[in-house]
Amino acid sequence: MPTSKKSRGHKRLWKEISEWIESNKELDTNQLFNFGRHNIKVPLSEDYSTNSRSAEYKRKTRSLILKGLLDIHDQWKQALDKIGEPYYLKIWLYDNRFSNSQVVCAIGPYLDFYETTFHKPEAQKEIDLSSYGALTEQMKELTWQYAWDEEHYNNTSLGEIEEYETENKFYASRRWFKKRLKKSYRKMNNSNPESEIKEYHSFRYGTVWIGGKD
């Protein structure tokens, strides 16, 4: 039986991912020292365009990418340990929006830059490591913290009507935002009285597991 188009597409995608993993195992120290931080995001194949992002990666592809994130994290840790100064190094593992997952590191003035990136509820949960199959043991080598995957909007996010191509697009965006406000969200006031941003609305999409080695 001839190989199906779908099978050929998967093999090509897996090859792309394997090449992505190998090309990023070595930490880009120039990027890190020049900017104080560095990250590597999950690659999006041409088959996973912005319009079809909701499809996300599944099963073997997802496992292959996660294995890559774990291996990249371990290789970067070895490099950072040789630098001889404090550093931040974590895997951000998104559950519902897996394609947002990444490995992130920082040093110097950006050491604490990422500590407030995510909302971490007081009622913490434990990651279910038994659901990661062959990667369970490697996942156990990291300590995982529970946080929320959110998108943030403020009172200026929608912009002004003249910033849109058409009035219809502006009013459509405003209707979407008003509809979204009817669902649950976190609201925070801006502590800076001089800012035009008065409040923030944070809409939750899922969970982010923040993993690292102490």
Q: Is residue 88 part of a domain?
A: yes
pTM for the structure as a whole: 0.83
Q: Is residue 166 part of a domain?
A: no
**Over the stretch 36-91, which tens digit does the pLDDT of each residue have?**
999 999 876 555 444 444 457 778 889 999 999 999 999 999 999 999 999 999 99
Tally the domains of the chain: 1
Structural domain span for residue 93:
5-149+206-212
Residue range 169-194: mean pLDDT, rounded: 84
Q: Is residue 45 part of a domain?
A: yes
Q: Is residue 120 part of a domain?
A: yes
Q: Which residues pair with 210 in a beta bridge?
A: 92, 145
